[in-house]
Amino acid sequence: MSVDVAVVPVAGLGTRLLPLTRSVPKELLPLGSKPVLQHVIDELESAGIRHIVLVTGAGESSIRQHFGIDSNLERQLLAKGKADQLTQLQSLADGIQIDYVRQSRQLGLGHAIWCARDIIGDRPFTIALGDAMFGLNNSTLCQRLQRVFINTSADAVIAFHEVPKDRVSRYGVAKVGATNIDGEGSFEVADLIEKPATADAPSQYAIAARYVCHSQIFNLLGNTKEGVGGEIQLTDALRTLILAGGKVVGVPLQQNEKRFDVGNFDSYFSAFVEVACADPIHGNALKQQLQAILDKD
């Protein structure tokens, strides 16, 4: 068995980033020289994913434009002797198929994933949120999730990062069961709570924007009622799976897999600066400018 298809939800309203996201979907906001969604697609490609289903909302046309072919721009670059820039425009490797599915009402992440059910069919699939990337050098997180999914015969595998206690209420949080079940640090997820109050959080392991699931999750999502925030939550469907005896495994992030996300202004600004500072061409100049700004204060 292999996992070579992924669902990437990019249909959220991005209200925490208004007015920036009024006409630009947050997944197209830049982290360094590429939109965060391009980093996510690159990560999926290097994990062997060959078919990506983008669940889109109002920002669909600009996302299609980013991943489409612009013959006019290509001709102009060639005519101006800028052939080297053409390779940077090729945002998809050869042989990658992208499909678009519309989520017409923003009923939550769980509902967005459910919208991809007909295209995914009965295949196991990766889920990668389009507004978060991991590490500065080609993360292997999706590859590891797929390996653990197959090796442990899990029904679902979820990435987790440890967060400070005062931030658990922003995430889905794991109750940890048996630890190190595969000799590589993976653990059994005994329960999941979406956005718990700090005092109720069963651990500091927060869900980290990447999953691998069997297609059975679609039935559970179809029967999931609105949860926290009035939205259909993927966490609630995974919880139902656990309570029904399903095997759900947690994979912790590695030391070098810092999470960069564009969910709110604080996380977006700091992610942009850190990713831009690591840029091999422009990073050093930016660091010097930042130092000069800090020295002035």
The contact set with ligand UTP (CB under 6 A) reads 9-16, 27, 55, 103, 106-109, 111-112, 129-131, 263
CB of 90 to ligand UTP, least distance (A): 24
Q: Which is nearer to ligand UTP, 16 or 214 (CB)?
A: 16
Q: Which is nearer to ligand UTP, 82 or 170 (CB)?
A: 170
Q: Which is nearer to ligand UTP, 134 or 187 (CB)?
A: 134
Question: Which residue minimizes CB distance to ligand UTP?
Answer: 12
E strand map for the chain: 5-10, 30-31, 34-35, 51-56, 97-102, 125-128, 132-134, 156-162, 172-176, 187-194, 205-213, 248-252, 259-261
Determine contact, residues 149/124, Cβ cutoff 8 Å.
yes
**Cα–Cα distance for residue pair 82/55, rounded to 1 Å:** 34
CB of 11 to ligand UTP, least distance (A): 3
At how many degrees (to 10) do helices 36-46 and 141-151 cross?
40
| The token pair that represents 226 in the structure block | 């609105």
Q: Which is nearer to ligand UTP, 45 or 131 (CB)?
A: 131
CB of 65 to ligand UTP, least distance (A): 17
**Cα–Cα distance for residue pair 18/23, rounded to 1 Å:** 10
CB of 272 to ligand UTP, least distance (A): 17
Q: What are the backbone angles phi and psi of residue 221, rounded to the nearest 5°? A: -65, -40
CB of 52 to ligand UTP, least distance (A): 14
CB of 109 to ligand UTP, least distance (A): 4
Q: Which is nearer to ligand UTP, 106 or 254 (CB)?
A: 106
Cβ count near 161 (within 10 Å) = 18
Q: Which is nearer to ligand UTP, 13 or 276 (CB)?
A: 13
Determine contact, residues 123/217, Cβ cutoff 8 Å.
no
CB of 113 to ligand UTP, least distance (A): 8
Concatenate the DSSP letters of all residues of 150-189 into one string: HHTT-SEEEEEEE--GGGGGGSEEEEE-S--TTSSS-EEE
Q: Which is nearer to ligand UTP, 20 or 150 (CB)?
A: 20
